[in-house]
Amino acid sequence: MNIRTVSTTPFPDQKPGTSGLRKSVTVFQQPHYLENFVQSIFDALEGYQDQTLVLGGDGRYYNRQAIQTILKMAAANGVGRMLVGRGGILSTPAASAVIRQYQAFGGIILSASHNPGGPDGDFGIKYNITNGGPAPEKVTEAIYDRSKVINSYKILDVADINLDKLAVLRIGDMTVEVIDPVEPYARLMESLFDFAKIRQLLQSGFRMCMDSLHAVTGPYAVNIFEQRLGAPKGTVQNGVPLEDFGGGHPDPNLVYAHDLVEVLYGDNAPDFGAASDGDGDRNMILGRKFFVTPSDSLAILTANAHLVPGYKNGIAGVARSMPTSEAVDRVAEKLGIECYETPTGWKFFGNLLDAGKATLCGEESFGTGSNHVREKDGLWAVLFWLNILAVKGESVEQIVRDHWKTYGRNFYSRHDYEEVDSQRANELMTRLRNSFNELQGKQFGNYQVKYADDFSYTDPVDSSVSKNQGIRIGFTDGSRIVFRLSGTGTKGATLRVYLESYEPDASKHDIETQTALKDLINIAEEIAQIRKFTERETPTVIT
């Protein structure tokens, strides 16, 4: 075997964020940049030699080159077998499913998720562990520590392999299996949902539209909705994955999924619309001229889980990230199950899912999932909704309104200020941290501060502690404002302001969200001086 050991020097900026290492493509294209990080993964792991790893990505620009490099490095580092999605493709939830189904040691996922792609866009890489989920902080820290001192990496000098045909190949002593990226995932979906019932619904005149935003879910959605469930051809729009996502921003929200929004809010709108992100783990759910907030979606899936075959025996518990609205807490209370509050990022759900403490999990950032894999899962959420719609025979809007009637409505919105100056953003956060004492008990109009703190999480399974996970300002009526800096952005800093208020009175459930949250929006400005520190008059994106 032709193993080459290449000398290198560390890059100081290889600290994984909320979900792996994300940088612009040009950063990854620097000589040794990708190799350093990959070698740091191998160096930080123990016992992977001769084992099986899974490899795939969301198909964005640089995916194919990175896969070839990683395969040659894996072979040089003694990996036994590599399972690679055909074309280098695996959606994030599908990669998680494959790791679990094949009982692999772990996997490497190439994705920058909802960030734009292409030569001027972003790229990303992360490591997932044996349970199929994102590596916990102690692993990402070990990888980062290693990246700071690395001085060489190993790579095999061989030709690129053909990724486009299902095959069993060899690179040095390592076996490479090019596998169908869709089949294992689609079969898992069939085992959880009532496909016969959904098929009936889709043949009964019910119309749906799925927007894959030219990202990885295209082939998955065509296979599942059009082929397995018999939805008409064309149900999936923007279904051909493109390396630059057609120039778009593959983020399923009302701003970036505008094609879908036009369809669902246009004349002759279908009954149901959904979109997913770059790597297939996010979802947006729309009814006819109706938007379901991700926080409400989690609450509604929880309340109706018993209608779905995969969850018919009830759910053990639920978990939501701290900034996610408390709508699901109310459902959990009624069901008599535990509701866990975790820091932002799917890696914090892994232990709860493994320990059987939580069955469903969700984040306000259009992420929902369950114990079927260890990642959030966009198409799973779409199928979950379709299954509920098929059983209940009601519209999306009716289901959501009934839910609010029963539980009250948690008005919710997130305001993002993107690409702001990092130093100023940090100043804003520091100022807030220093004002906790002063804020305590303070009155703002009708709102009185009940608590102001920086969220800290102690994992109930392994007792690991994660500090500084977002500033929370809670009011006596249950309203909340949360401030966080994004851990996935690649340009400057992104300030996220999360706003939530609770309205039990059904006659007020029709108020427009930004209007309902107006007072809190003003209080957030007063407390944090957002305009001054971000030098922005308005948020870049409101979801």
Q: Which is nearer to ligand VG1, 71 or 358 (CB)?
A: 358
Residue from 113, 147, 223, 368 in contact with Co ion (CB under 5 A) = 113
Instruction: Name the E strands within 189-309.
Output: 208-211, 236-237, 272-276, 283-287, 290-292
Q: How far is the CB of 93 from ligand VG1 (least distance, A)?
A: 10
Element (H, E) at 392: helix 378-392
Q: Which is nearer to ligand VG1, 115 or 223 (CB)?
A: 115
Q: Is 454 exposed, middle or buried (0-12, 13-18, 19+ CB in 10 A)?
A: middle
Q: Which is nearer to ligand VG1, 154 or 374 (CB)?
A: 374
Q: How far is the CB of 528 from ligand VG1 (least distance, A)?
A: 17
Q: Which is nearer to Co ion, 91 or 304 (CB)?
A: 91
> Would you tell me which residues interact with ligand VG1 (CB under 6 A)?
18-19, 113-114, 277, 281-282, 321, 344-346, 363, 365, 367, 486-488, 496
Q: Which is nearer to Co ion, 113 or 486 (CB)?
A: 113
Q: What residues have CB less than 8 Å from 295, skipping those under 6 apart?
A: 320, 324, 325, 327, 328, 362, 364, 410, 412
Six-digit token pair at 79? 């990996």
Distance from C-alpha of 434 to C-alpha of 453, rounded to nearest angstrom:
10
DSSP 3-state of 400: helix
Q: Are 135 and 126 in contact (CB under 8 A)?
A: yes
Six-digit token pair at 451? 């608590």
Binding mask 270-309 for Co ion (x = CB under 5 A): -------x-x-xx---------------------------
Residues 414 to 453 in contact with Co ion, rule: CB under 5 A:
none
Q: How far is the CB of 488 from ligand VG1 (least distance, A)?
A: 3
Q: Given the structure tokens 């899912």, which residue do they identify?
A: 353
Residue 116 contact partner, candidates ligand VG1, Co ion, none, CB within 5 to 8 A by sort of partner:
none
Could you confirm whether 365 is annotated as catalytic?
A: no
Q: How far is the CB of 58 from Co ion (least distance, A)?
A: 8
Q: For ligand VG1, which residue has the nearest CB?
A: 113
Residue 326 binds Co ion (CB under 5 A): no
Distance from C-alpha of 474 to C-alpha of 31, rounded to nearest angstrom:
48
Distance from C-alpha of 56 to C-alpha of 135, rounded to nearest angstrom:
16
Q: Which is nearer to Co ion, 99 or 473 (CB)?
A: 99
Burial code (b: 16+ CB inside 10 Å, e: under 16) for 280-313 equals bbbbbbbbbebbbbbbbbbbbbbbbbebbebbee
Encoded amino acid at 383, one letter: L
Distance from C-alpha of 31 to C-alpha of 309, rounded to nearest angstrom:
50
Q: Is 383 exposed, middle or buried (0-12, 13-18, 19+ CB in 10 A)?
A: buried
Q: For Co ion, which residue has the nearest CB?
A: 113
Q: How far is the CB of 57 from Co ion (least distance, A)?
A: 12
Residue 115 binds Co ion (CB under 5 A): no
Encoded amino acid at 17, one letter: G
Q: Which is nearer to ligand VG1, 18 or 212 (CB)?
A: 18
Six-digit token pair at 461? 């399974």
Distance from C-alpha of 402 to C-alpha of 279, rounded to nearest angstrom:
32
Catalytic position from the list 19, 91, 111, 113: 113
Q: How far is the CB of 180 from ligand VG1 (least distance, A)?
A: 23
Q: How far is the CB of 352 from ligand VG1 (least distance, A)?
A: 15
Residue 35 contact partner, candidates Co ion, ligand VG1, none, CB within 5 to 8 A by sort of partner:
none
Residue 344 contact partner, candidates ligand VG1, Co ion, none, CB within 5 to 8 A by sort of partner:
ligand VG1
Indicate which residues carry an active-site annotation: 113
Binding residues for Co ion (CB under 5 A): 113, 277, 279, 281-282
